[in-house]
Amino acid sequence: MIILTGGITNPGPAKTAVNLLRYKPQEVVAILDENNRGKASRELFGLGGMIPVVASLDQAPEANTVVVGIAPTGGKLPREMKATILEAIRRKLTIVSGLHEFLSSDAEIAQAARQHGARLVDVRKNEERDVAHRQGLREQCLRIHTVGHDCNVGKMVVSLELSLALQKAGHDAKFVATGQTGILIEGDGCPIDAVVSDFVNGAAEKLVLANQQHSILLIEGQGSLAHPRYSAVTLGLLHGCVPDGLILCYEMGREFVAGMDTCKIPPLSTLKQLYETMANLMHPCRVIGVAVNGRKYSDTEVAQECEKVRREMGLPVCDVLRHGSNDLVKAILELKKQLGKS
Amino acid sequence: MIILTGGITNPGPAKTAVNLLRYKPQEVVAILDENNRGKASRELFGLGGMIPVVASLDQAPEANTVVVGIAPTGGKLPREMKATILEAIRRKLTIVSGLHEFLSSDAEIAQAARQHGARLVDVRKNEERDVAHRQGLREQCLRIHTVGHDCNVGKMVVSLELSLALQKAGHDAKFVATGQTGILIEGDGCPIDAVVSDFVNGAAEKLVLANQQHSILLIEGQGSLAHPRYSAVTLGLLHGCVPDGLILCYEMGREFVAGMDTCKIPPLSTLKQLYETMANLMHPCRVIGVAVNGRKYSDTEVAQECEKVRREMGLPVCDVLRHGSNDLVKAILELKKQLGKS
């Protein structure tokens, strides 16, 4: 695949690109970004090694797929990206997008795809129309859900890392993707924030029912209960996936909601209580660990932060990309034992 | 208009019919319900006086509009209603539906409407694609939001009755509809439960921004924060409309979530705290009154219930359809004064 980033290198808006580079580097042929042509991926994102940054599709003739690698607020296709997509369609490449604005709803793109026989994949397109039923949950399956203090703090990465670590330790764990990037990485899941709101809880429940043959589910969280924009998504997912345990994810140093600099984020202890209160309306549940994203800080600073939060919250804390996820894995297995799940 | 009820007389699922009969009786020519043909509306619903119940469109030749009067869980069009709709299309009537399953998405209905030049109105169809911004709120506008312990407990009726009572008392009050029935009655609004979940908070905020030239907004609530199916809608609306005050609505005697008889509804005091906690994440807000729906009980029983809840909660309580809404109107005007809104 070739990843379009439209010149964006901030790992927040470019999170699809960043995480494909982190978890699927062997499938990435190139990054298309005119402004940064000639560089290597690791120079832009600290990931993806020597994967080249190119200025046109010509320079990556071996690609058979183009992926829109950014997730802008509101999910609209950037105008300047459309020309590249039309060019890719003329080359009969498959186009994959996780935007709210569907490729297939753009008359020009849809018409070009028909004409050239190119495939359009709109990851967020869905026809979810089922409400939740709260029936048929397999009691032996442990449901762990990552929740956060804001968007883009690492809920997907933590869910994925925990599922990989649990699998490595011999457990039958499954990453349950709920966002476009997670779906591209895992190959299945549901784009929960694109579901019609009446059916969000139902779509989350369906995801659990579809995967509960596994022993442990790591269900990717979305947004935050305190997010002025996305709290609907967060609560529907929290209620629909009826978790047994939560991992609270946050980015160290972030005080205001990203992109909304008058909206202060509540303290972690408040958020812990909020998530537990809301989750327990449906099913017994507690926060069992904290995942810090310390990307802007040094090893020493992150270690101090972890120690501080560990003391304050009385919970295991780690930065999974820096420390691995042993402490959180232990907390999950401990909960599994406590609840008598085999 | 002629209202289709498909034989349903329970005021829960038939809430669109019931409330059109309550608030727009002068526009209703007949109810179409074969099972109850020959009766009068008031016999079926205790509303609508002598409006006839008919067995076919033939019997109401003066109608120019057909309204689907039911709101089934999941929002699908009942199969047996489709024949009547196709017949109405052949008669060139306008068809209005508030179902999640759009008339215009049914190939046969859409094709027939094109062929006969009949108009299809899907009230829930929307293209909401804006996130919330938390900017531009007019501080002088008082925002009152009705919230509930479950679906179908009277949040729309309470919002409407309060707006009518405030208008009668000379205040510039506006009912802000957020559901299909409210939209049909008021003529504007947003079908919030049909909005893609990422944009629910944004759509609610837009409704407030579009109406805040009024002094007092009565914003119709949806679902419940404790509803296993619809809590996403409830929270997005609560956060998006940033209320100053809440009216907590409940149906007397209802202990379990309607249609989910293993899900117990939390006590009113718990719900009050939940709504206040979640609302205050965005803006200072408190519950200022309680609206009881005592439809299944006698005057004496409802009076006792009101007294009990008044004592327990320390708030004004009334059944607006039985007692009028004076006590709640007073509470709203008191809050307006306290907040210094002119």
DSSP string, A64-133: -EEEE----TT-PPPHHHHHHHHHHHHTT-EEEE--SS-GGGSHHHHHHHHHHT--EEETT---------
Contact residues on chain B for A132, CB-CB shorter than 8 A: 228-229
Mean pLDDT for the stretch of residues A52-66: 97
Torsion, Cα B232 B235 B236 B239, to 10 degrees, reads: -170
Taking the C-alpha atoms of residue A103 and residue A194, their distance in angstroms, rounded to an integer, is 14
Contact A73 B131 (CB under 8 A): yes
Residue B73 — very low, low, confident or very high, per pLDDT cuts 50/70/90? confident
Contact B232 A202 (CB under 8 A): no
Contact B233 A197 (CB under 8 A): yes
Of A290-304, B69-83, B319-333, the poorest mean pLDDT is in: B69-83
Contact residues on chain B for A75, CB-CB shorter than 8 A: 129, 198
Contact B198 A196 (CB under 8 A): no
Contact A100 B198 (CB under 8 A): yes
Contact A230 B278 (CB under 8 A): no
Taking the C-alpha atoms of residue B253 and residue B18, their distance in angstroms, rounded to an integer, is 21
Contact A201 B277 (CB under 8 A): no
Q: Tokens standing for A234?
A: 């967060």
- Give yes or no for residue A72 having a pLDDT over 90: no
Roughly what angle, to the nearest 10 degrees, separates helices A200-211 and A231-240? 40
Contacts of B270 (CB under 8 A, 6+ apart): none
Mutation target to probe the A interface, by most A beta carbons within 10 A, among B102, B206, B229 is B229
Distance (Å) from the alpha carbon of B253 to chain A's nearest alpha carbon: 20
Contact residues on chain A for B130, CB-CB shorter than 8 A: 74
pLDDT of amino acid B256? 98
Taking the C-alpha atoms of residue A98 and residue A107, their distance in angstroms, rounded to an integer, is 18
- Give yes or no for residue B15 having a pLDDT over 90: yes
Contact A231 B239 (CB under 8 A): yes
Distance (Å) from the alpha carbon of B237 to chain A's nearest alpha carbon: 8
Mean pLDDT score of chain A? 97
Contact A235 B231 (CB under 8 A): yes
**From the list B194, B200, B281, which residue is nearest A232 (CB)?**
B200
Contact residues on chain B for A263, CB-CB shorter than 8 A: 134
Taking the C-alpha atoms of residue A54 and residue A35, their distance in angstroms, rounded to an integer, is 9
pLDDT of amino acid A80? 87
**From the list B75, B133, B235, which residue is nearest A235 (CB)?**
B235
| A-chain residue closest to B72, CA distance | A131
- One DSSP character per residue, A2-54 reads EEE-TT---TTTTHHHHHHHHH-GGG--EEE-GGGTT-BHHHHHS-STTPBEE
Contact residues on chain B for A195, CB-CB shorter than 8 A: 196-197
Contact residues on chain B for A228, CB-CB shorter than 8 A: 132, 134, 201, 239, 282
pLDDT digits (tens, 9 = 90+) for B212-271: 999 999 999 999 999 999 999 999 999 999 999 999 999 999 999 999 999 999 999 999
Taking the C-alpha atoms of residue A101 and residue A95, their distance in angstroms, rounded to an integer, is 14
Q: Please choose, from the candidates B291, B164, B169, B135, the residue with its C-alpha nearest in 3D space to the C-alpha of residue B221.
A: B291
**Whether B291 contacts B247, CB under 8 Å:** yes
Taking the C-alpha atoms of residue B295 and residue B153, their distance in angstroms, rounded to an integer, is 10
pLDDT of amino acid B17? 97
Q: Please choose, from the candidates A148, A136, A144, the residue with its C-alpha nearest in 3D space to the C-alpha of residue A336.
A: A144
**From the list B100, B202, B281, which residue is nearest A198 (CB)?**
B100
A300: exposed, middle or buried (C-beta count within 10 Å: 0-12, 13-18, 19+)?
exposed
Contact A229 B131 (CB under 8 A): yes
| A-chain residue closest to B76, CA distance | A129
pLDDT digits (tens, 9 = 90+) for A219-257: 999 999 999 999 999 999 999 999 999 999 999 999 999
Contact A231 B74 (CB under 8 A): no
- Give yes or no for residue B81 having a pLDDT over 90: yes
Residue A74 — very low, low, confident or very high, per pLDDT cuts 50/70/90? confident
Taking the C-alpha atoms of residue B53 and residue B38, their distance in angstroms, rounded to an integer, is 6
Q: Tokens standing for B96?
A: 């209005």
Name residue A146's beta-bridge partners. A247
Distance (Å) from the alpha carbon of A265 to chain B's nearest alpha carbon: 9
| A-chain residue closest to B235, CA distance | A232
Taking the C-alpha atoms of residue A20 and residue A85, their distance in angstroms, rounded to an integer, is 19
Q: Tokens standing for A200?
A: 């969000």
Mutation target to probe the A interface, by most A beta carbons within 10 A, among B149, B178, B198, B222 is B198
Number of Cβ within 10 Å of residue B172's Cβ equals: 11
Contact B232 A262 (CB under 8 A): no
Give me the sheet containing B120-122, strands edge to edge: B53-54, B30-32, B2-4, B65-68, B94-97, B120-122
pLDDT of amino acid B2? 98
Mean pLDDT score of chain B? 97
Q: Biggest alpha carbon distance in chain A? A: 62
Distance of CA A133 to the CA centre of its chain: 26
CATH 3.40.50.720 fits B2-122, yes or no: yes
A276 φ, ψ to 5°? -65, -45
Q: Please choose, from the candidates B114, B54, B51, B120, the residue with its C-alpha nearest in 3D space to the C-alpha of residue B85.
A: B120
Distance (Å) from the alpha carbon of A236 to chain B's nearest alpha carbon: 4
Residues in chain B: 342
Contact A232 B226 (CB under 8 A): no
A148 φ, ψ to 5°? -145, 175
Taking the C-alpha atoms of residue A11 and residue B75, their distance in angstroms, rounded to an integer, is 40
| B-chain residue closest to A271, CA distance | B281
pLDDT digits (tens, 9 = 90+) for B33-53: 999 999 999 999 999 999 999
pLDDT digits (tens, 9 = 90+) for A170-213: 999 999 999 999 999 999 999 999 999 999 999 999 999 999 99
A298: exposed, middle or buried (C-beta count within 10 Å: 0-12, 13-18, 19+)?
exposed
Same fold? B2-122, B142-338: yes
Helix (H, G, I), strand (E, B) or coil at B245: strand
Distance (Å) from the alpha carbon of A182 to chain B's nearest alpha carbon: 17
Spell out the domain ranges in chain A: 2-122, 142-338
Taking the C-alpha atoms of residue B5 and residue B2, their distance in angstroms, rounded to an integer, is 10
Contact residues on chain A for B196, CB-CB shorter than 8 A: 100, 193-197
Taking the C-alpha atoms of residue B252 and residue B249, their distance in angstroms, rounded to an integer, is 10
CB pairs under 8 A between A and B: 135
Give the architecture (CATH level 2) of A142-338. Answer: 3-Layer(aba) Sandwich (3.40)
Mean pLDDT for the stretch of residues A144-154: 97
pLDDT digits (tens, 9 = 90+) for A80-103: 899 999 999 999 999 999 999 999
Q: Name the helix (H) or strand (E) containing A233.
A: helix A231-240
**From the list B133, B196, B225, which residue is nearest A196 (CB)?**
B196
Helix (H, G, I), strand (E, B) or coil at A236: helix
Contact B75 A198 (CB under 8 A): yes
Give CA separation, B260 vs A221, B73, B227, in Å: 26, 11, 10
**From the list B130, B233, B266, which residue is nearest A232 (CB)?**
B233
**From the list B129, B232, B262, which residue is nearest A233 (CB)?**
B232
pTM: 0.97
Find the chain B residues whose C-beta atoms sit closer than 8 A to any C-beta of A. Answer: 73-76, 100-101, 129-134, 192-198, 200-202, 225-226, 228-237, 239, 260, 262-263, 266, 274, 277-278, 281-282
pLDDT of amino acid B71? 87
B173 φ, ψ to 5°? -105, 150
Tokens 């939209």 label which residue? B183
- Give yes or no for residue B323 having a pLDDT over 90: yes
Q: Please choose, from the candidates A134, A211, A133, the residue with its C-alpha nearest in 3D space to the C-alpha of residue B74.
A: A133
Taking the C-alpha atoms of residue B181 and residue B168, their distance in angstroms, rounded to an integer, is 22
pLDDT digits (tens, 9 = 90+) for B263-293: 999 999 999 999 999 999 999 999 999 999 9
| A-chain residue closest to B75, CA distance | A129
Contact residues on chain A for B192, CB-CB shorter than 8 A: 197
Contacts of A267 (CB under 8 A, 6+ apart): none
